[in-house]
Amino acid sequence: MAGKSDPFKFNIRVMRGSQGAEVKEIQQKLNDFALANSIRWPTKTGLLEEDGIFGSNTEKAVRDFQNRKLLLVDGLVGPFTFAMLSQEDFVVGVAFIGIGVPQNDIRKCWAAATEYWLKHQPAFPLSQDEVIEKVREHAALVGVNMDDAVLPSGALTFTGQRVWEKKFLIKGISERAETVTAEFAAKRLRRSGKPLMMGDIEFDTKSMHFTIGHVRVLLGVQCSFLTPGDFTISFSFMDPFFAPHFRSIKLSELHKSSAKTAKREFMTWVDFGIVPT
């Protein structure tokens, strides 16, 4: 919910051409932000005219603000942009916490994440070791060498990822890590109604395979007003590597981590319904 469950704030979608009190409020908030941060908008005075008309200058200011806050830069004022402007908490998440699942080996985070994720399927519970065995069995069925799908260390290879997806009917989406946005993640969470699994690709020099790096389970996305001046976007995860296993990570930290480790891909697996075989 956004702020005090205000339906307008939750459903807000204001864009170029819009007019009215909502636009005027947004212009006021953009001007407040500019004054507080010594920023000039592209106008003669450096501030927007608070006339309630969403024109080109307002759109440029919105895009500038979105870029500064790691929001989707589309010039539209949706719930996340409005929340950041208003400095009010806004959360999109799934109602599923339960008990965290620790990975039982350094390379088995993907299997531990799957074990946690499968708790949505009470008729089909699997431990992480059973997940690994199911993927290896399915690899053999589709003509993939089992050790090319899941390495002896328990790491899932890039080839194995395809087997994993087919086995559990998971839809894989690949995108560059630095382009991951709160808006897209929230949209996928809403559409699925269940957690998402997020991981990255890395090259394993020992086996000479591309493998799936660290996999977490995404439970929610939120704007949070932490301290004065520190209003940020963060993702809530069940992370099988860390204890306690439920933690929040700033979106900026996810982007920086990717840049430092050269892990450029961020895969998001969306649950469209599991029909195990």
User: What are the phi and psi torsion angles at 28 (to 5°)?
Assistant: -60, -45
Q: What angle do CA 27, 230, 219 make, to 5 degrees?
A: 95
Say if residues 58 and 26 touch (Cβ distance below 8 Å): yes
**Separation CA 257–CA 251 (nearest Å):** 10
The model's pTM is 0.85
Question: What are the 10-residue block averages of pLDDT along the chain, 277 residues in total?
Answer: 41 92 96 95 95 97 95 94 90 83 91 89 83 96 94 92 89 80 88 84 80 90 77 91 90 76 67 51
Phi, psi dihedral angles at 227 (to 5 degrees): -140, 165
Q: Report pLDDT for 195.
A: 87
- Compute φ and ψ for 168, nearest 5 degrees: -105, 10
DSSP string across 190-250? HHHSS-EEEEEEEEETTTTEEEE---EEEEEEEEEEEETTEEEEEEEEE-TTSSSSEEEEE
Helix (H) or strand (E) holding 39: none
Q: Is 58 helix (H, G, I), strand (E, B) or coil?
A: helix
For tokens 């099988």, name the residue: 240
Burial of 97-120, coded b for 16+ CB within 10 Å and e otherwise, reads eeebbbbeeebbbbbbbbbbbbeb
C-alpha 195/C-alpha 217 separation (Å) is 6
> The tokens of 127 are what?
């431990």
Identify the structural domains of the chain with CATH numbers, from first to last: 7-87 (1.10.101.10), 93-271 (3.90.70.10)
Looking at residue 143, what is its pLDDT? 95
pLDDT for the residue 52: 97
| pLDDT for res 78 | 93
